[in-house]
Every structure is written in C-alpha cells, then in structure tokens.
Structure 1
Amino acid sequence: MTARTVPVAALLAAALAAAFAGACSRQPDGGVQVSVIDHISMDGDKVLLRAAGRSAQIGPDGAIAIDGGALALTPAQQALGREFYQQATGMRRDGAAMGKAGAAMAGQALSTVARDLRDGNTDQTEAKIQAEAAKLEAQALQLCQRAQALRDAQQRLSAALPQFEPFARLAAGVGDDCRKR
C-alpha cells in the first residue's frame, strides 16, 4: 500500500457512510418520515420542521401550517414556501442519489480490488478507485450547494413570514461548512 491509498480508504469509508446515512422512521399512523437535514424531514408530500416543541408543515404548493393551523399567506409568501419546499425535496433527492452512488462506488471498489488482486493487475487499482471517488466528490459538492440554497430559501421565507422564524435554524455558512468536510 502506498501513502496515496489512505485517501482512497477514507473515500470508501465515506461512501459507505453516505449509503447508510439516510434516516427514516416509521410513524404511528403507518407513514414513513425521511430526514432531510438537521430539523427538517419529509412525511409523504409534506416538508416537516421542528423547533422548540413546535412543528410546521409546508406542502408542494407552498401552503404552510404551524402547529396544525394553516396560515393565510400572500402570493409572495406562498411562492417562498414553494421555493423552500423545492429546495428541501431537492436536498432529499440529492442525498438519496449520493447514498446510492456511495453504495455503488463501494461495491465497485471492492470488485475492482478483488479482480485486480486475482488477476495480478494492481498497478491501476488506485487510479480506477480515484476516478470513481471523484464522481462521488462532485455529488457531495452539489449537495453542499443545495444545503446553501436551502438556507437561503429559509432566510427569505423567515424574512417575509415572521411566524416561520423559529424554524429557520440552518446556520449561516452551512454550505461552506459542508464543503470543508
């Protein structure tokens, strides 16, 4: 093993972690809740947010309910609710795609290593794995950009709708923090 194989091992570990990172939980009503990021999850076609014992729901049309009560929204506020919804569902979709890609990459890497060891062709094994890892890294950067876009949508929505402020918990620089990892 060369010193360069350490990053490959780390990328393989990250790929496996991404594959199993999606958080799902069964609800008492039989539904499944899927975690998006931090305090945001999906339940069916609704984005759910939690903060200090309170909850908010945002539907695909941008309709918002807080603690079970629907809010009367202006068209501009509803458009911001729709934007937040789209970014949150995009985050879930991108995260699921990355998890699948991570699992596929891990399987491919293991197959590549086994095949190259069996055939005695280990000269290019690391390069093959690095090429696959670069694809996963590109997806991770896209996920970081999505996290920042979700935070930006959160800020616009909370500025236009003060009742949403308690649910605006994504910190400034969330995309930058993500890219540093």
Structure 2
Amino acid sequence: MSFNKLESSNCLFLICPTDHIEIILRQTCSTNAFFYTALGANFRWDIDTQKNLITLIENQKVAQIVFVTKYTNMFYKEILEPEIEPFFHVSETFLQLDKTLPDYLLNQSHPILRTMLLASRHLQTQQKYMLETAILGKVLKHNEVTTQSFVYHPNNQIFYPPKIIENKVLSHGQISLN
C-alpha cells in the first residue's frame, strides 16, 4: 500500500463495515487509525456529521483521510450481478456509476475488472462530495488535509489507487490480478 505521508500523520479511514478491513488497515499503517463507516461506503454529509468529523480531525490531529473498500464488497455484487437477491439497498449512486462504464469493459470476461473500476469511481465520487461540503470540505482544504481513495484486493493484499485502476483497466482492458 502506498498512502502518501501516512507514516507520519494520523489517518481517518472511511470504510464500509461489511468489508471487515479495520484490522488490515491498522496492521498496514504505522500511524493512529480512526474509522468512520457507512454501508457501501456511501456516506451522508449532513451538518451534524460534518461538525463531528471536524471535531475528531482537529482533536486527533488527523492529516489524512482515506476512503477504502474491498472490490468484493457485497454492495457492488448487488449492482453488477442482478440475479443476486439484494441484502441492502444502497443509494442510486452505484447504478449511476455503473452507467459510466464503457461497453467494452462491461463485456470483459473477468468480473473483477468491472467491479474494481466501479468501486474506484464510487470512492472518487464520495471523496469529491466530501470536499464539496459546505463546512467539512472548507476545513479540510484550509488545513491541507490530504484525501485519497483505494480499492483493496484481498487475495493479493494490494491497495489499488484509482489512477492505476483507470490506467490498467481502461487503457489496456485488463488489470493484473497478481
């Protein structure tokens, strides 16, 4: 995993609780790790939530916020495999993002490609929404809090940043699973 500046600053991870990734993140980083969770990593940015996160960020001197999900997250499977009975219904966000995937990718033989790209784009959208919030986004920018997102591949134990996923999947039509 290559989190920028992670070794020297406290980090707030924004994750889906169904991924059960907290232990992996704590073992991987050498900083204090804090967690904020939402099903499907589909966060709501109401005023109270923004204020509470600002308090945490300031009190704990958080210098980095990282969105992380596993590509195996059950919410992506619900969208990408319609024959699966939905366990939870997460926002229309996933369906909207699914429509942004190119046709050639939708026809790829390996489902991991599509899922990783969907997960990456979802996290990037969540990151963008957070930075555009009226209160929290302003504080993050003013305090120069770094934000990033990663999709975790549990079999390979690799955290993929969006740029690598986009480059490999969209440019080459494939992503190395090793």
TM-score scaled to structure 1, two decimals? 0.30
- Name the structure with the higher helix share: 1
TM-score scaled to structure 2, two decimals? 0.31
* Structure with the greater alpha carbon radius of gyration: 1
The structure whose RCO (Cα within 8 Å, separation 6+) is larger is 2
